[in-house]
Amino acid sequence: MATPPSQAKTKSSQAKTKKRRPAADDPPTPGSNDPLLAELRETTTQRLAALLASNTNLLSDLGRLNTSGVDTGTVFGRALKRARGLETLVPPPPPPPEHRPRPVKCAASLHTSVIVDGAAVAFGFEPCGGDWRSPGHVPSQLPRIGTARDVAVACGWGFTVVVDAFGVARAGGRLPGLAPGSSLRPLLPKVRVLAVSAGAAHVLLADDQGRCWSGGDAGDGRLGRGGASELAIVEGVDDIKGVAAGACHSLAFTSKGTLYAWGLASDGRLGFTTEDASAPPTRVALEGVVDASAGKYHSLVVASEGVVFAFGDNSYGQLGLGHADDAWEPACVALPSSAVCVAAGASHSLVLLEDGDVVGFGSDAQGQLGGARVDDDESDSDSSDTDSTSSSSSSAADDEVWTPARVPGLCGKGVVAVAAGGAANSDAGHTVAVTAAGAVLCLGAGGLGQLGAGVDSSSTPLPVPVRKTAWS
- Give the model's pLDDT for residue 382: 40
Phi-psi region of 355 (alpha: psi -120 to 50; beta: other; left: phi over 0): alpha
Least confident piece of the model among 117-131, 216-230, 290-304? 117-131
Given a cut of 80, whether residue 379 has pLDDT beyond it is no
Domains of the chain with CATH codes: 97-463 (2.130.10.30)
**Residue 456, exposed/middle/buried by CB under 10 A (0-12, 13-18, 19+)?**
exposed
* Of residues 14 and 424, more confidently modeled: 424
The Cβ of residue 258 has, within 10 Å, a number of other Cβ atoms equal to: 18
What would the pLDDT profile of 333-356 be if each residue is shown by its tens digit? 999 999 999 999 999 999 999 999
What would the pLDDT profile of 77-122 be if each residue is shown by its tens digit? 877 776 776 555 555 667 777 788 999 999 999 999 999 999 999 9
Please give the backbone phi and psi of residue 233, each rounded to the nearest 5 degrees, phi first: -80, 135
What would the pLDDT profile of 267-277 be if each residue is shown by its tens digit? 999 999 988 87
Question: SS3 for 70?
Answer: coil
Q: Are 395 and 342 in contact (CB under 8 A)?
A: no
**Residue among 341, 297, 291, 287 at smallest CA distance from 319:** 297
Q: What's the gap between Cα 98 and its chain centre?
A: 19
Quickly count helices (H) and strands (E) in the chain.
5, 28
